[in-house]
Amino acid sequence: MSQLTVSLLQTPLHWEDKAANLQHFSQLLSQLPAGTQLAVLPEMFTTGFSMQPQQLAEPADGPTVQWMRQQAQQHRIIVAGSIIAEEAGHYFNRLLWVLPNGQVAGYNKRHLFGYAGEDAHYQSGTSRVIVSVNGFRVLLQVCYDLRFPVWARQQPQPDGAAEYDVLLYVANWPDRRIQAWRTLLQARAIENQCYVVAVNRTGHDGNGIYHSGHSMVVSPLGEILLELSGETAPGHFTLQRSLLEEVRQQLPFLKDRDTFFLQ
C-alpha cells in the first residue's frame, strides 16, 4: 500500500484505425514487466485526436471498453486511457479507468481544445473524478486540462489532508508546444504537492502534426523522475508514498492555499 508501479505506454497511433491500435496496445501490454499495477495509454488511443466522433464514437460498454476489461483482467492491472465515447446523442473525450474486476470509472474532458475545433464536436465534462489504487488517490485529467490550474487545484478537506496524491494526464500534445507541456507538468506537481504522471503520444497524426512524446513522471517537488524519448518507448516507474508524505510534512504549503469552490 506504500508503492504504485506505473507503466507509461508512449507510442505512435494509427490514424482512425481502432483495430490496428488495439492490436498494437495488446502487444505492448503483454510485454509489461512483472509488478506493473497501472498501465496508462495516450489520449484517444484507438483513433488519434480525431474530429470524426460520428464515425468513431462508441457507447459506454462498447468494444474498446470490453477490450480494456479483458486486458485488465488478463494482466491483473488497471488500464487507463481516453477514447471517443457516445452517450445520449452527445460525444465525449472520455478518460477510462478500468479495474481487473471489470469496474470502470470515466472522466469526461473538461477543457475542449477550441483551437483544433474540439469544442464543435464534443461535449465538455462537468465533474472532476478521483479514483484510488494502493492507497494513492488519483485525479484524472486530459491533455488541454493541463493549461488550467484551477481545475487541478487541491481542494481543502475537512481533516486538512490533501485531496489527491497523483495527477494523471493523457495527451496528444504536439511537439511545437512541448516546452509548455514540460513546464506545466512540473508546475502542477509543485503547486499541488503531488506526483504527476503524464502520457503523450509520438509520431505524426492524420493532419500531419508531429508529436514527440516526452511522457513524464514528476515528483511532488517538481523534479523530473522519468522522461521518455523515442517513438515507441514504454517507461516504468514506482511511486513511493514515503516521498509524498515527507514533502507534505516538511513543506506544509497546502495549508496556506486559497479557499475556493469549483462549480
As a whole number of angstroms, the distance between CA 12 and CA 100 comes to: 26
Q: Return d(Cα 67, Cα 41) in angstroms, integer.
A: 13
φ/ψ (deg, to 5) at 103: -70, 145
Which listed residue (58, 118, 143, 194) is catalytic? 143
Question: Which amino acid is located at 141 in the chain?
Answer: Q
- Among the listed residues 154, 159, 157, the one whose alpha carbon sits nearest the alpha carbon of residue 189: 154
Q: Which residue is catalytic, options 86, 109, 118, 194?
A: 109
For residue 43, indicate whether it is catalytic.
Answer: yes
**Size (the chain), residues:** 263
Spot the catalytic one: 16, 18, 43, 86.
Answer: 43
CB atoms within 10 A of CB 226: 15
Measured in whole angstroms, how far is the alpha carbon of residue 250 from the centre of its chain? Answer: 28
Active site residue 194: no
Catalytic site positions: 43, 109, 143
